[in-house]
Amino acid sequence: MNRKIIATLAATIFLLSACSDPTGEDTGTKTIVTSEKADTTTTTNNQLSDDYYKTMITNGNYQVSKTRGSTLGLNSNFNLKAFETGLMSLSQLHFNTEDYYFQEGQYIDSTTANTWLRRASKENPDGLNPEDNGKIEPNERNPYYLNSILEQDYMIKKDDKFTLGGISIGLSMNAIDYYQKVAFGADYETKISRDELLKQGKEMANKIVQRLRETQGIGDIPITVGIFEQSPKDSLAGGSFIAEAISEKGDTKVGEWKELNQEKVIFPLVDKTSNELTSFENFKSEVEYFFPNLSGVTAEASYTNDQLMKMKVTITTQFYGESEMIGFTQYVTEKAVTFLPPAIPIEITIESINGTEAFMARKAGETAFITHVFD
């Protein structure tokens, strides 16, 4: 859909909505309805897939995060999505999607998060990033190691009441700390080694767990911490979680760290060859051969322990008409079945200047793709 049209549409609707009661309730009976709802905590019945938790709904509203929007400060949208969904996946190691319900973080508020993210100083003793040492050269200054903190709450249901069952904390760490020597000046970069990043992240994890243990309402519930390494600003791949640990039984620090061998690479830009890259390149050639004009074809391949777990393909093409798009989608689906690695989940999006034109997806273990052409 055309961007301009969306904008006009949004403006029109907001205008209309402002004149009407957003709850859709008859204003005359509003008080009664509201009081009826006062103690209602429900969840979405609809669980999208085994990979998603059911979501908590309190009084018909979604409880937004106390640090809402804070992940928008990550290096890229790819990092944001990898960070949030990655922490949900990590959480499944300890909190299963059957018994636990998802709620956005309600214990660390914005003020606290900002205090923790700033540099340590006399005025800000709780800052987790190191003191300013007065240097400005990339290899001399103390970088910001920690970029963002994400809290997720996992609730359990007992006798129709929900109580906190677990907390997951994600620490988004900078592999590159982008900074300016003067305000609005040129961008400089301090590179941070993975060893240093892990060392810093692990120390911060213990400090955060200790502070959370003193936070009202948390008590001795399990707290897991994941260390996320951001990908650079210009990367087409999102970052990955590289280590995780859990603090159980009210411990004021986490237990043993488990290193996670996860990696995301972009095909065909990756420089090491593999069977998957060859498969992808054959697919790409076939797709590009369909039209007289060229399409751009790339994929984000996610590896765990050097095994391909998931592939997300993006095809960028020119839009000449709906019939072409339908024919192209049929063709791409067919070539995906033939050439792309079997058994793993695959997502394919066809994009044009107008936005998303078509979309195909296959779940793990399936052979057929679900296909949709937007019209």
Chain positions 280 to 309 lying near its own copies, rule: CB under 8 A, are 281-282, 284-286, 288-292, 294, 296-298
Q: How far is the CB of 372 from its own copies (least distance, A)?
A: 6
Q: Would you count residue 374 as binding its own copies (CB under 8 A)?
A: yes
- Smallest distance from the beta carbon of 177 to its own copies, in angstroms? 22
Phi-psi region of 299 (alpha: psi -120 to 50; beta: other; left: phi over 0): beta
# of chain residues touching its own copies (CB under 8 A): 94
What value, to the nearest 5°, has the Cα angle with vertex 162 and ends 156 and 165? 35
Residues 75, 232: contact at Cβ < 8 Å? yes
Q: Verify binding: residue 30, its own copies, rule CB under 8 A.
A: no
Between 192 and 299, CB nearer to its own copies: 299
Give the separation between CA 252 and CA 161, rounded to whole angstroms. Answer: 28
Choose among 302, 162, 167: nearest CA to 237.
Answer: 302
Tokens of 350: 């066809």
User: CB under 8 A: which stretch of 189-197, 210-218, 246-254, 349-357 binds its own copies?
Assistant: 349-357
Amino acid at 189: E
Smallest distance, Å, CB 212 to its own copies? 19
- Binding string, 37-66, against its own copies, x = CB under 8 A? -------xxxxx---x-xx-x--xxx-xx-
Closest to 99 measured CA to CA, from 41, 166, 49, 150? 166
Q: Nearest approach, Cβ of 57 to its own copies (angstroms)?
A: 7
> Does 267 sit near its own copies (CB under 8 A)?
no
What is the Cβ-side half-sphere exposure of residue 197, based on CA atoms within 13 angstroms?
A: 24
1 near its own copies (CB under 8 A): yes
Residue pair 179/190 in contact (Cβ under 8 Å)? The answer is yes
Which of 68, 191, 199, 258 binds its own copies (CB under 8 A)? It is 68
Segment 179 to 198, residues that bind its own copies, using CB under 8 A: none
Angstrom distance (rounded) from CA 179 to CA 121: 19
> Binding to its own copies by residue 349, rule CB under 8 A?
yes
Q: Please say which residue, 78 or 141, places its beta carbon nearer to its own copies.
A: 78
Task: Out of 29, 40, 77, 121, point to the residue binding its own copies (CB under 8 A).
Answer: 77
How far apart are the C-alpha atoms of 102 and 216, rounded to whole Å?
Answer: 20
Distance from C-alpha of 11 to C-alpha of 17, rounded to nearest angstrom: 10
Nearer to its own copies, 192 or 228 (CB): 228
Q: Near its own copies by CB under 8 A, which window of 18-26, 122-130, 187-195, 224-232?
A: 18-26
